[in-house]
């Protein structure tokens, strides 16, 4: 398991009964987590003293119950700064378990010894974009949600990256890939974080288990002749890391050589000393 265990501004304090207790900077949040199926005693005082809790509704969805929480605030990871805030559907705009991938991105780009171009797809609020740009790469950041791209730009500015070569694109990722292939544009690095489920602007249905292989195969069409790495994230329950390896080996290693390595992502839990699993990542590198 690849652990994000170098945070100072984030801490997973405890998890139990389908919830997790987290520290985001100086604020404590309680959020649902489907992996925390155990029912251990919630003895940490933060459970009772959290600044906000996302409560599930019996009819679906839910809402934030806040005692004292600003509309937004900042957290830092190394030299990167991110704006976080409580969003609908329990999110904060940042997935802290991805920090181990940001470190990987920084290491690989920093050691490349050459200019590196990065395409970040389903790029959300830009954690990977910031890591790549800070390491010296030129980045194309693509997401279909205009609000997420705006948020990502704000994160880049907060991290002192506003002058870096980053293209901000609001577009459907598959359609953007098709256009880039027609234009003959190539990238040395691909990063993608496709959703488990979604609908396109014309009602198209995206389901990760059904559509991931074809999408990743399409992605190979924009890789340069000497690619550096490909990173695929997946949060679909039941989709094992070995499945991502099989896809990556079939598409990238068969064409470019190299190797794929996949693992669960995890966050250390302070109260128990154990690890909470948080999705999976596949890394292909030449």
Phi, psi (5° rounding) for residue 247?
Answer: -60, -45
At 72, list the tokens. 């937004």
H/E stretch holding 106 reads helix 99-110
In this prediction, residue 60 has a pLDDT band, given cuts at 50, 70 and 90, of: confident
Residue 233 pLDDT more than 80? Answer: yes
Distance CA 151, CA 269 (A): 28
Residue 80 pLDDT more than 80? Answer: yes
Report which of residues 204 and 69 the model is more confident about.
69
Sequence-distant (≥ 6) Cβ neighbours of residue 205 within 8 angstroms:
197, 198, 199
* pTM greater than the 0.85 cutoff: yes
What pLDDT, on a 0 to 100 scale, did the predictor assign at position 201? 62
Task: Using alpha carbons, select from 20, 40, 170 the residue that is nearest to residue 95.
Answer: 20
What pLDDT, on a 0 to 100 scale, did the predictor assign at position 133? 98
Residue 278 pLDDT more than 70? Answer: yes
Distance CA 221, CA 239 (A): 24
In this prediction, residue 238 has a pLDDT band, given cuts at 50, 70 and 90, of: confident
* pLDDT single digits (tens) 4-44: 999 999 999 999 999 999 999 999 999 999 999 999 999 99
Q: How many CA within 13 A on the CB side of residue 61?
A: 5
* pLDDT single digits (tens) 120-147: 999 999 999 999 999 999 999 999 999 9
Distance CA 9, CA 27 (A): 10
What is the overall mean pLDDT for the chain? 95
What pLDDT, on a 0 to 100 scale, did the predictor assign at position 237? 79
Angle, vertex CA 226, rays to CA 225 and CA 227, nearest 5 = 105
DSSP summary character for residue 79:
T
Phi, psi (5° rounding) for residue 216?
Answer: -65, -35
* pLDDT single digits (tens) 198-232: 776 667 777 888 899 999 999 999 999 999 999 99
What pLDDT, on a 0 to 100 scale, did the predictor assign at position 205? 75
At 18, list the tokens. 């389908």
Of 43-47, 79-83, 98-102, 192-196, the one with minimum mean pLDDT is 192-196
Of 50-59, 98-107, 152-161, the one with minimum mean pLDDT is 50-59
Contact 5, 14 (CB under 8 A): no
Contact 167, 121 (CB under 8 A): no
Report which of residues 61 and 114 the model is more confident about.
114
Distance CA 193, CA 120 (A): 8
Angle, vertex CA 188, rays to CA 182 and CA 194, nearest 5 = 75
Distance CA 58, CA 54 (A): 13
Count of Cβ atoms closer than 10 Å to residue 274 Cβ: 12
Residue 185 pLDDT more than 80? Answer: yes
Q: Which domains does the chain have, with CATH numbers?
A: 2-78+82-90 (2.60.40.1180), 94-285 (3.40.50.150)
In this prediction, residue 89 has a pLDDT band, given cuts at 50, 70 and 90, of: confident
In this prediction, residue 164 has a pLDDT band, given cuts at 50, 70 and 90, of: very high
What pLDDT, on a 0 to 100 scale, did the predictor assign at position 197? 81
What pLDDT, on a 0 to 100 scale, did the predictor assign at position 122? 96
What is the rounded average pLDDT of the residues 152-160?
A: 98
Largest CA distance in the chain: 58
What is the rounded average pLDDT of the residues 51-80?
A: 90
Region of residue 137 (left: phi > 0; alpha: psi -120 to 50; beta: else) = beta
């Amino acid at each position: 398991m690849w652990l994000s265990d170098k945070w100072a501004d984030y801490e997973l304090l405890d998890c139990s009964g389908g919830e997790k207790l987290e520290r985001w900077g100086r604020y404590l949040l309680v959020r649902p987590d489907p992996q925390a199926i155990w029912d251990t005693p919630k003895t940490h005082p933060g459970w009772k003293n959290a600044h906000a809790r996302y409560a599930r509704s019996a009819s679906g969805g839910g809402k934030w119950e806040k005692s004292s929480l600003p509309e937004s605030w900042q957290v830092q990871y190394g030299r990167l700064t991110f704006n976080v805030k409580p969003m609908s559907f329990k999110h904060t705009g940042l997935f802290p378990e991805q920090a181990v991938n940001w470190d990987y991105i920084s290491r690989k780009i920093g050691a490349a010894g050459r200019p590196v171009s990065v395409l970040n797809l389903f790029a959300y609020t830009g954690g990977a974009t910031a890591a790549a740009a800070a390491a010296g790469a030129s980045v194309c950041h693509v997401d279909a949600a205009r609000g997420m791209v705006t948020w990502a730009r704000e994160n880049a500015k907060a991290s002192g990256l506003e002058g870096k070569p980053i293209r901000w694109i609001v577009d459907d990722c598959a359609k953007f890939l098709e256009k880039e292939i027609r234009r003959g544009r190539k990238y040395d690095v691909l990063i993608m974080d496709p959703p488990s489920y979604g609908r396109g602007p014309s009602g198209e249905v995206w389901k990760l288990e059904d559509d991931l292989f074809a999408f990743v195969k399409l992605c190979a069409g924009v890789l340069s002749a000497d690619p550096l790495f490909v990173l695929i994230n997946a949060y679909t329950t039941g989709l094992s890391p070995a499945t991502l390896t099989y896809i990556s080996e079939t598409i990238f290693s068969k064409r470019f050589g190299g190797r794929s390595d996949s693992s669960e992502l995890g966050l250390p839990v302070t109260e128990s000393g154990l690890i909470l699993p948080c999705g999976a990542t596949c890394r292909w590198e030449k």
